[in-house]
Amino acid sequence: MNNVVPRWIVRRLAVVAVVAMTVVAGLVVTPAAQASPAVQYTNPLAEQRADPHIFKHTDGFYYFTATAPEYDRIILRRATTIQGLASAPETVIWRKHTTGEMGAHIWAPEIHFINGKWYVYFAAGRADDIWKIRMYVLETSNANPLSGGWVERGRISTPLDTFSLDATTFVANGVRYLSWAQNDPAVGTGTNLYLARMGSTPWTITGTVARISVPTYSWETVGHRVNEGPSVIERNGRLFMTYSASATDANYCLGMLTASSTANLLSASSWSKTATPVFASNTSTGQYGPGHNSFTVSEDGQSDILVYHDRNYRDISGDPLNDPNRRTRV
């Protein structure tokens, strides 16, 4: 009996050993991050309120703002619970100008608390050029932002002076960033996602402006080539930037970029995009065109809550931007 093991058996055993090690390694996984415990809310939270943004503040209140379908004003609500926002009184904190900039298409406000003051980021066209959409900032030092005192801090200037909207801000590794959607004629029609460090004021940016996503997948380019409405959450050492894609009809959906929290976020290669939408129309639940989300946290702090808009019907006649029935859900 030849006691030398034939080479083909050695090779076979080596393959088995590698597969076995892989399986064992796969089974001995590092404990997965705990999923958020489920919480229940009654939806919709608000009819005819698109691009919803909820900010949970340290004062015990949730602050809510969203796009009103008339595109003519910025509204705020506050309540001590997320469900309470549904019936909370609504205050108009600012109205569009009758002439000049900030005079039309008042879109997608977000409310943030930065260095002891409140800021509202929003997009607006001009009264005399309603598609000259740019990003603007309001500020108040009032502890209760529903009590007024709002000052117009002006436009967020970016290297390109083009169609720009949907500004959001977040802090990662102690650095505050601004992310937004903007057209770049060199890229083509539609909007891409950009990221920059916030500058010396909450209405300025500084340093490198990184283009971190361009609509390239088919689900990003139905009706229009759209990446917009960025929103960031950081969990378990990673940043997740969801964004909205395609036209604002039933094709509207969420995509997601992921980066390591310690990566150079201003390098586009740090971000990887899901190949398919992470949230899309669902005929069985009757939710169509879900998108332009933000994130908040449940009352007990244990659950991450997706805040988004949808419609309860698929077919829209005319420009979907003129359909008023995007409503807020959580």
- From 51, 110, 249, 310, the catalytic residue: 51
Contact flag: residue 292 with ligand AHR (CB under 6 A): yes
Q: How many CA atoms lie within 13 A of 154 on its CB side?
A: 6
Can 161 be counted among the known catalytic residues? no
At its nearest, how many Å lie between ligand AHR and the CB of residue 181? Answer: 7
Taking residues 241 to 260 in sequence order and writing x for each that binds ligand AHR by CB under 6 A, - otherwise, the string is ---x---x------------
The DSSP element (H or E) to which 19 belongs, if any, is helix 7-27
Helix (H) or strand (E) holding 59: none
Calpha distance 163→159 (Å, rounded): 12
Subset of residues 112 to 131 that bind ligand AHR, contact rule: CB under 6 A: 123
The two three-digit tokens of residue 138, written as one number? 């309001």
Contact call for residue 107 and ligand AHR (CB under 6 A)? yes
Pick one of 125, 229, 289, 290: the residue that binds ligand AHR (CB under 6 A).
229
Please give the backbone phi and psi of residue 187, each rounded to the nearest 5 degrees, phi first: -90, -35
Total chain residues near ligand AHR (CB under 6 A): 13
How many beta carbons lie within 10 A of that of residue 245, not counting itself? Answer: 28
Query: 189 or 262: whose CB is closer to ligand AHR?
Result: 189
- Asked if residues 94 and 150 have their Cβ atoms less than 8 Å apart, the reply is yes
Give the nearer residue to ligand AHR in terms of CB position, either 39 or 306. 306
Cβ of residue 166: shortest distance to ligand AHR, in angstroms? 5
Q: In sequence order, what are the residues at sequence separation of 6 or more whose Cβ sits closer than 8 angstroms to the Cβ of residue 210? A: 194, 195, 196, 265, 266, 267, 268
- In the complex with ligand AHR, the residue whose CB is nearer, 269 or 322, is 322
* CB closer to ligand AHR out of 50 and 195: 50
Pair 123, 135: CB distance under 8 Å: yes
Catalytic residue among 139, 184, 228, 249: 228
Tell me the closest approach of the beta carbon of residue 326 to ligand AHR, in angstroms. Answer: 7
Q: Is 228 in the site for ligand AHR (CB under 6 A)?
A: yes
Closest to ligand AHR by CB, 101 vs 228, is: 228
Least Cβ distance, residue 195 to ligand AHR (angstroms): 17
Closest distance to ligand AHR from the beta carbon of 288 (Å): 15
Instruction: Give the number of other CB atoms < 10 A from CB of residue 85.
Output: 25
Using the Cα atoms of residue 67, residue 73, residue 79 and residue 84 in order, give the sign of their dihedral: negative
Q: Which one of residues 101, 139, 166, 249 is an interface residue with ligand AHR (CB under 6 A)?
A: 166
Assign residue 190 a region: left if phi > 0, alpha if psi is -120 to 50, beta otherwise?
left
Interactions with ligand AHR, residue window 56-75 (CB under 6 A):
67
d(CA 223, CA 109): 24
In whole angstroms, give the CA distance from residue 256 to residue 166. 16
Is 47 one of the catalytic residues? no
Active site residues per annotation: 51, 228
Binding footprint of ligand AHR on the chain (CB under 6 A):
50-51, 67, 107-108, 123, 165-166, 228-229, 244, 248, 292
